[in-house]
Amino acid sequence: MKKYFTVICLLLNVGVAQDNVEDKKEKLKFLFEPDSLFLNIGETGTVTIKFVDTDGNLANNPFYVYGRPRRALESKPRISDSTGVAVVTIKAFKPGKLNLSVRSISQKREDRVMGNMPIVVPFPPLDRIVFNDPISNVYVGTSVNYKTEVFDKANLKRTESKVLLSSSNSDVAEFDSYGNLVAKKSGKITLIASVDDIKESLNIKVSKNPVRKISLSADKDEIRTGDVLQFNAKAMNRANKVIKEVPVTFSYSGRVEYGIGLPASALINKDGKFVAETPGVFTVIAQSGRFSARKTIKVVQRNVRKEVKVVGHGTVSNVNTSDLWVWPGIGKHKGKDFAATGTWSANGEAYFWDVTEPENMYIIDTVTVDARTVNDVKVSENGEVAVITREGASNRKNGFVVLDIRDPFNVKITAEFNDDMTGGVHNVFIYDNHVYAVNNGRKYDVINIEDPSNPFRVGRYELGTPGHGVHDVWVIDGLAYSSNWADGVHVVDVGGVKFNEKNRSKIQYNPFLAMAGQGSPGNPVKLGGMADPNGHNHAAFPFISQSSDKFYLITGDEYGDQFGMAGGYHFLDFTDPKDPKETAVYQVPEAGSHNHWVHGDTLFASYYQGGLRVVDISGELMGDIYAQGREIAFFMSSDPEGFVVNRPNVWGTMPYKGLIYFSDMNNGLWAIKLEDQKSMGTN
């Protein structure tokens, strides 16, 4: 059964369709007046951009305006008017050879027309060198790393400027090539940092090392790969008094348990936290000056592997599949289970499935709206309302559609919301009768749907940084976690459930909940965040560890390279929200990350061409998760009858009632389960 939100009948000769697309694109172009700009940092310029045909007539088609790279240029407005004209004010924030880019808004991706205008922003002169937390008193026989930052006249950090560090007396102390000052004997020196004609100095005292003994201990003698073990070192003087100010350095040596020449691989940080990637025998060494201590431990294989059993699969062979959601039926359908999936670069369809018997899942209804892509599907907690997103509408009214799903066999369209959403809604989340909708890729709007037939905007959250954007938002306990590309992850109070002893049984402890109570859907208030130095922050999921005292935000990348999709998942320790740190990463070298979900101490990771990955994230997390043997299972969802045959491309995942559901872009909906590995026996 199909319902059409807007019916479009197109009678085309399929054989010439592609030629018509190329002819149309060749007849349209962008004109920039002027055709280039030269700006200094902080300066603004104005450009008139027109989208025209070969005769110079306006195309009557809007387009996006954006700066490249991100955060280097701010352009206002970011969307042209409907005729295809934009008078754009540009402000430069970073130096380099930059681009003002434009892209037409079209129903079909293949119809998009691109354009670029060069903008040259010269590098300002260097201004100063700053030492980061420098140590002015060092001890003989130790080494201290000195880190510096260079700033220019525009107060921008210049990471490309290489600082030369030198000592005024190399007999007392001298630098190696990596910024480490090696102290040789007592005395005084002047540390000199220089780059170009800029210099900064620091007076250093080298003192006699009082250490005469080191002790080294750890709570365990045997751990698994991936377990983090804290080594505690104490440096003591002749009187056995602990000396805290003298640095202790850690190192290790190891012997793997298999004899094929592979190296023992591990990581130990400056605080003495150790984690191993390979099983074997490891000796950790703590050293200060000429004194050292050792402790040997055994590392065994983590052994968390499980087998994957396919429970059910619903092939979608005519279009690409996008996101999914699974939920329990209500009312007369109580006791049954349902799922919804979207479609990508297709015909604006969303499919509704009966998955009560997952081994026999099947489509029970289809909703078709005026769109090319229904990128996201979300269902309210009470199971009454669903929201599907729209991109590529023929009339450019790209918002979201509210659905009545109380009867999933007979889904009804309740309302649409398109106001100020010309560029499309990519992702949404439903929380407490509000829709959080990522609008035009630059902000998220908050839409009240207490009356699903009458949605209205009550608030919005938008960054103020140059070239800002947002890709996804996820709301739990009244906290919105938005993924903002280079601006990283933001945690925003939109009506946070403040943690206290009375509600301890209802919500798990999240340090941001202690800060909640300031915001609401109509007044989002940022509580914290962390920038992404690589600029790829695509999705985020909060993780309250079930087996440690840690609170993490797991952020996923999305980007492509010459080999296809790439990226991984970053574990940001937000246990102290004011001092977040990245402590671990999970990355499949040959594949690219997309969406993810956490249940208990398990990560379910959609990995595009790398299939679905199930990862053990119990305990404290540090280092390379992939290399540590923490992968519980992976499944390559190959389908000979798929839209793209025998080529896995996993998009999104969601655990539900002991099963793992996921959508594959090339072949539809899957349900799998994990089972303990069975002995394979011998021949």
Going by pLDDT thresholds of 50, 70 and 90, the confidence category of residue 563 is low
State yes or no: pLDDT of 574 exceeds 90: yes
When mean pLDDT is compared across 201-215, 244-258, 659-673, the lowest value belongs to: 244-258
Nearest to 186 by CA among 137, 135, 140: 140
State yes or no: pLDDT of 359 exceeds 90: yes
Going by pLDDT thresholds of 50, 70 and 90, the confidence category of residue 560 is confident
Higher pLDDT, 617 or 499: 617
State yes or no: pLDDT of 541 exceeds 70: yes
Q: Which pLDDT score is estimated for 261? A: 64
Residues linked to residue 138 through DSSP beta bridges, in sequence order: 206
Going by pLDDT thresholds of 50, 70 and 90, the confidence category of residue 508 is confident
Going by pLDDT thresholds of 50, 70 and 90, the confidence category of residue 194 is very high
Q: Which pLDDT score is estimated for 677? A: 81
pLDDT mean over 304-325: 98
Nearest to 59 by CA among 91, 83, 88, 89: 83
Compute CA distances 415 → 113, 353, 388, 431, 564, whole Å: 32, 22, 11, 18, 38
Compute CA distances 446 → 243, 436, 463, 526, whole Å: 55, 5, 15, 15
Starting from the edge strand earliest in sequence, which strands make up the sheet with 337-344, in order?
2-4, 362-368, 349-354, 337-344, 320-328
Residues linked to residue 339 through DSSP beta bridges, in sequence order: 326, 353
Task: Say if residues 177 and 163 touch (Cβ distance below 8 Å).
Answer: no
| Token duo for residue 655 | 């655990």
Residues linked to residue 670 through DSSP beta bridges, in sequence order: 313, 662
Pairwise CA distance, residues 275 & 267, whole Å: 5
| Token duo for residue 203 | 């007076």
Task: Say if residues 417 and 392 touch (Cβ distance below 8 Å).
Answer: no
State yes or no: pLDDT of 565 exceeds 60: yes
Q: What percentage of the chain exceeds 90 in pLDDT?
A: 83
| Token duo for residue 249 | 């350095």
Complete domains list, the chain, with CATH:
27-121 (2.60.40.10), 126-207 (2.60.40.1080), 214-300 (2.60.40.10), 537-620 (no CATH)
pLDDT mean over 372-388: 97
Of the ranges 189-198, 392-401, 503-512, the best mean pLDDT one: 189-198
How many Cβ atoms from other residues are within 10 Å of residue 505's Cβ?
7
| Token duo for residue 339 | 């799922």
Q: Which pLDDT score is estimated for 144? A: 93
Contacts of 506 (CB under 8 A, 6+ apart): none
Q: Map 85-116 to HEC letters.
A: EEEEEEEECCCEEEEEEEEECCCCHHHCCEEE
What is the rounded average pLDDT for all residues in the chain?
92
Going by pLDDT thresholds of 50, 70 and 90, the confidence category of residue 679 is low
Q: Which pLDDT score is estimated for 259? A: 61
Task: Say if residues 119 and 44 touch (Cβ distance below 8 Å).
Answer: no
Amino acid of residue 31? L
Pairwise CA distance, residues 246 & 210, whole Å: 8
Angle at 467 between CA 53 and CA 536, to 5 degrees: 105
Q: Which pLDDT score is estimated for 2? A: 43
State yes or no: pLDDT of 10 exceeds 50: no
Nearest to 592 by CA among 549, 542, 648: 648
Pairwise CA distance, residues 339 & 355, whole Å: 7
State yes or no: pLDDT of 682 exceeds 60: no
The sign one gets for the Cα dihedral 239, 241, 243, 248 is positive
Q: Which pLDDT score is estimated for 401? A: 98
pLDDT tens, residue by residue, 290-303: 999 999 999 999 99
pLDDT mean over 373-390: 97
Angle at 581 between CA 302 and CA 165, to 5 degrees: 110
State yes or no: pLDDT of 418 exceeds 90: yes
CA 405 to chain centre: 31
Pairwise CA distance, residues 216 & 223, whole Å: 17
Which string of b and e fits 197-234 if b means at least 16 CB within 10 Å? ebebebebebeebbbeebebebeeeebbbbbbbebebb
pLDDT tens, residue by residue, 253-293: 998 877 666 789 999 999 999 999 999 999 999 999 899 99
How many Cβ atoms from other residues are within 10 Å of residue 517's Cβ?
14
Higher pLDDT, 21 or 528: 528
State yes or no: pLDDT of 1 exceeds 80: no
pLDDT mean over 158-186: 94
State yes or no: pLDDT of 5 exceeds 90: no
pLDDT mean over 135-141: 94
Q: Which pLDDT score is estimated for 25? A: 61
Report the predicted TM-score, pTM, of the whole model to 2 decimal places.
Answer: 0.91
Compute CA distances 325 → 170, 393, 554, whole Å: 65, 23, 20
Query: What DSSP string runs through 51-86?
Result: EEETTS-B----EEEEEESTTTEEEE-SB--TTSEE
Going by pLDDT thresholds of 50, 70 and 90, the confidence category of residue 505 is low
